[in-house]
Amino acid sequence: VNKKTYGNDLWNIIIKETEILKSSDPELEDFLEKNIFSFDNLFDSVTNILTNKLSDKKDSVNSLRESISIALSSEIIQLSIEEDINSVFEKDPACRFYCQPLLFFKGFQALQAHRVANHYWKKKIGTSLFIQSKVSELFNIDIHPGAKIGKGIMIDHASGLVIGETAEIGDDCSIFHGVSLGGIGSEVYDRHPKVGKNVLLAANSTILGNIKIGDNVKIGAGSVVINDIPENS
């Protein structure tokens, strides 16, 4: 089991990894300078990456950057970002460097954008919906801003992921491409699944309705789940 890394230690590792990337791929120098070397900490880097991905027009860049920066000043969101990076590094065999999710993995980037959208949900609904729309357009990932997602989340491949408004996902879950946490059409408000901690949702699994998936459950690829599943199943 890998030891988790946080704070300045994590950022220093990312800097060192990025220096290795730069030395082996000099053509990436401008990209790495813009996204990593220009910043003193992880959260300013994430702010910049999300701003550049999501900004619609040049005149909206500064206001979007400020909104993202304010959201990422939350200690809860900061810890979640660090836990997400650690989780991807630990669980994804294709992730050999801590910098990979930050720079190259759209599942990680979409999740951090969702954390910003969720921060503003019910405060600045327009900002939340704008971020959701841009993430869906850019990444083919549709997460409603109202969905509650814990920390230490690995979203692998990510394409086609759909998470509804009243869905909840606990800490340390692994989610693969094509997963849907949806409603069944007959429920009005609280209509989406509640997923516990350390749950595996394999590719193209579909979980429907206001049902509970217990801790440590593994949902197989292509499964359709419409009833509660007890923990440790």
pLDDT in tens, the chain (233 residues): 568 999 999 999 999 999 999 999 999 999 999 999 999 999 999 999 999 999 977 657 789 999 999 999 999 999 999 999 999 999 999 999 999 999 999 999 999 999 999 999 989 999 999 999 999 999 999 999 999 999 999 999 999 999 999 999 999 999 999 999 999 987 778 999 999 999 999 999 999 999 999 999 999 999 999 999 999 99
Distance linking the first and last C-alpha atoms of the chain: 23
Residues of the chain with CATH 1.10.3130.10: 1-140
Distance, CA of 222 to CA of 201 (rounded, Å): 10
CATH fold group of domain 147-233: UDP N-Acetylglucosamine Acyltransferase; domain 1 (2.160.10)
Distance, CA of 223 to CA of 179 (rounded, Å): 10
What pLDDT score was predicted for residue 56? 78
What pLDDT score was predicted for residue 187? 72
Q: What does the block give as tokens for 38?
A: 């220009």
Q: State in words which class domain 1-140 has.
A: mainly alpha
Helix (H, G, I), strand (E, B) or coil at 222: coil
What pLDDT score was predicted for residue 96? 96
What pLDDT score was predicted for residue 10? 98
Contact 152/198 with Cβ under 8 angstroms? no
In sequence order, what are the residues at sequence separation of 6 or more whose Cβ sits closer than 8 angstroms to the Cβ of residue 137?
Answer: none
Residues of the chain with CATH 2.160.10.10: 147-233
What pLDDT score was predicted for residue 2? 66
